[in-house]
Amino acid sequence: MAIIHPGPIGPFNGKLGDIVGYSWRNIHCVRAYRQRINYPNTELQQKQRNWFVSMVRFASQATDALKLGFHQASLNAKMTEGNYFVLHNKQYFHLENDTITIDYEHLRIASGPAADVYFKDPCFEQDETVTVEFEKNSMSLRASGEDKVYVYIYTPALGVGILSAPVSRKAKRLQMRLPESWAGLEVHLYGFVVDKEGRPSDSTYIGPGKVNHYEDRGRYIPLDNKWQEFVSLAQGTTASPTPSVGKPIEKGVEIAQNGAEPPGIP
């Protein structure tokens, strides 16, 4: 890739002979036009493509995080945030015996001069909720209570990642609700800070974990008039003529007195 500096004819876009002119981040560039080359689709080539695709897929899922964590670094390197991620993390994607493994602990999704925080072990609670506590890192003179702290969570089983909403450094706690489809899945967490000037810190691998799920949550059954009457009598009130639909099973069991079994429930 060559960079065009404004001259008598100025920059151009499109194909001109064997060269192509284009703009990238307001920089005028040219590159050679390469004809499509026929090559044998060997097994080794397929493995190398799969290895490269695995890195690109991870980067594409972490786009929101990489735009914060690698924006300035990628600008300085004159490449996109995704390409910067691949360049600096390719040694952590391993191809062994036709299987691609990832060294999640050493992946980096942010790099910069901002002061980081001390992340504690993640706490996975019911209803697919994860809580991460952190210390302010008051030893650094660059630390400000108004700096923003982010957590990025990735699940290998689905190949999907989510960036949290930011919290201030002084909050010392970040809580995030994950999709129900993540219940029971392994996840990997990364944290980083963006200061008031928009500069990121180096990312921290917070650790792995498994998303919890309350097994009985969401179990509802339609209730007929007889069951509604039973609930009303247990409460000592008058039965409602309108059947109640969608009450949790466990609610009726708690209301029933003397351990009576609700009728019609297997």
For the chain, domain boundaries: 2-32, 43-210, 220-255
DSSP state of 70: S
Question: Cβ of 49: how many Cβ atoms within 10 Å?
Answer: 11
How far apart are the C-alpha atoms of 251 and 31, rounded to whole Å?
Answer: 68
CB 19 within 8 A of CB 45: no
DSSP E strand stretches across the chain: 2-3, 14-16, 19-24, 27-32, 93-96, 99-102, 118-119, 123-125, 129-135, 148-155, 160-163, 167-168, 173-177, 186-194, 204-210, 220-222, 245-248
What residues have CB less than 8 Å from 32, skipping those under 6 apart?
A: 18, 19, 20
Q: For position 14, what pLDDT does the model report?
A: 65
Range 43-210 has CATH code 3.90.550.10: no
Q: For position 60, what pLDDT does the model report?
A: 94
Closest among 187, 255, 180, 186 to 215, alpha carbons compared: 180
Identity (one letter) of the amino acid at 81? E
CA angle 82, 85, 86 (to 5 degrees): 90
CB 66 within 8 A of CB 85: yes
Per-residue pLDDT of the chain (266 residues; tens, 9 = 90+): 555 556 555 666 666 666 777 676 667 776 776 666 666 778 888 888 899 999 999 999 999 999 999 999 999 998 999 999 999 999 999 988 888 999 999 999 999 999 899 999 999 988 899 999 998 775 666 778 889 999 999 999 999 999 999 999 989 999 999 999 999 999 999 999 999 899 999 999 999 999 987 654 443 334 444 444 444 444 554 444 444 444 444 444 444 445 555 555 44
CB 212 within 8 A of CB 126: yes
> Measured between alpha carbons, how far is residue 257 from residues 233, 235, 244, 252 in Å?
10, 9, 19, 10
Helix (H, G, I), strand (E, B) or coil at 166: coil
Q: For position 220, what pLDDT does the model report?
A: 37
pTM of the model: 0.68
